[in-house]
Amino acid sequence: MVAVDPLDARSWAEALAGADAVVNLAGATIGARWTAKRKRLIRESRVDLTRALVEGLAAIPQGERPGVLLNASGAGYYGDRGDDVLTEVEPPGQDWLAQLAAEWEAAALAAEGLGVRVVPMRTGIVFAPGGGSLPLMALPFRLFAGGPLGSGRQWMPWVHLDDIAGIYAHALEHADVTGPLNACAGSARQRDVARAIGRALRRPSWFPTPLLAVRLAFGEFADALGASQRVSIDKLLASGYALRWPDLDAAVADALGARADG
């Protein structure tokens, strides 16, 4: 971990010279109403920061330049794609979040021209004990009012925290992993995620949350919450990574500190 001025290329160059690899996880949370001010912050913390980082890499002599850049991205790159199976070669969606992700990845991939191996990590919802989105998702269930979002048919890419850490380590260690990577354990319909949360907490999971209510609360961000992304993890598995938490129920239960066996 290094301390830098995030938008200053010279600061990045000084901090990263001689490093073996760079893992860029920077980015302001998208989990809020997207005001114009919030959008500027989200974009600056992703696109502008990554551009400065790559400019910093360009200023480092070849022999001292890191050989790999793992750059955070998201499955939101694909936009709302229904039941389509999404491999890494698919084009980005047209909504604001998808276009932001595409711009973010392009900023990172510019480092390939410097001889750096770049892997944009398209991550889904991370199931993490005590953090991430899952505690917020689980709150209505704890209040006996949990259920799917809207119809519940939309696909949600997901991954356990242990696996996202493992996938990053795997990508660092394997030189044949390059280009965008769906860094997920798979995708499940939103209604099945709701059922898994209900089973883990021994709560009902059939109270749907109308998308209209979510839009009233979160504005444009609600469209991202209701989007469907059925990502393929064939590239990840073909690279030799073995998932630690391939089962949805077990991953949700572990992250919520519950038992998966009921």
pLDDT tens-digit profile of 98-146? 999 999 999 999 999 999 999 999 999 999 988 788 888 899 999 999 9
Q: For the chain, which domains are there?
A: 9-255 (3.40.50.720)
Average pLDDT over residues 27-31: 91
Report the run of H or E that residue 72 belongs to, with start and end. strand 68-74
Report the run of H or E that residue 230 belongs to, with start and end. strand 230-231
Q: What is the pLDDT of residue 214?
A: 82
pLDDT tens-digit profile of 139-180? 999 999 999 998 999 999 999 999 999 999 999 999 999 999
- Res 259 pLDDT > 60: no
Cβ atoms 260, 249 nearer than 8 A: yes
Helices (H), the chain: 9-16, 36-43, 49-58, 96-109, 134-142, 161-173, 190-201, 211-218, 221-225, 234-238, 248-255
The DSSP code for 69 is E
Distances (CA, A) of 69 to 18, 48, 59, 134, 170: 14, 16, 15, 28, 13
Cβ atoms 83, 130 nearer than 8 A: no
Instruction: Give the span between the Cα atoms of 66 and 45, in whole angstroms.
Output: 21
pLDDT tens-digit profile of 76-89? 999 999 999 999 99
Residue type, 239: S
- Res 261 pLDDT > 70: no
Q: What is the pLDDT of residue 262?
A: 41
The DSSP secondary structure of 99-155, one letter per residue, reads HHHHHHHHHHHGGGGGT-EEEEEEE-EEEETTEESHHHHHHHHHTT----BTTS-SE
For strands 125-128 and 21-24, give the pairing.
unpaired
Instruction: Give the span between the Cα atoms of 28 and 6, in whole angstroms.
Output: 13
Backbone phi, then psi, for 149, in 5-degree steps? Answer: -90, 120
- Res 93 pLDDT > 90: yes
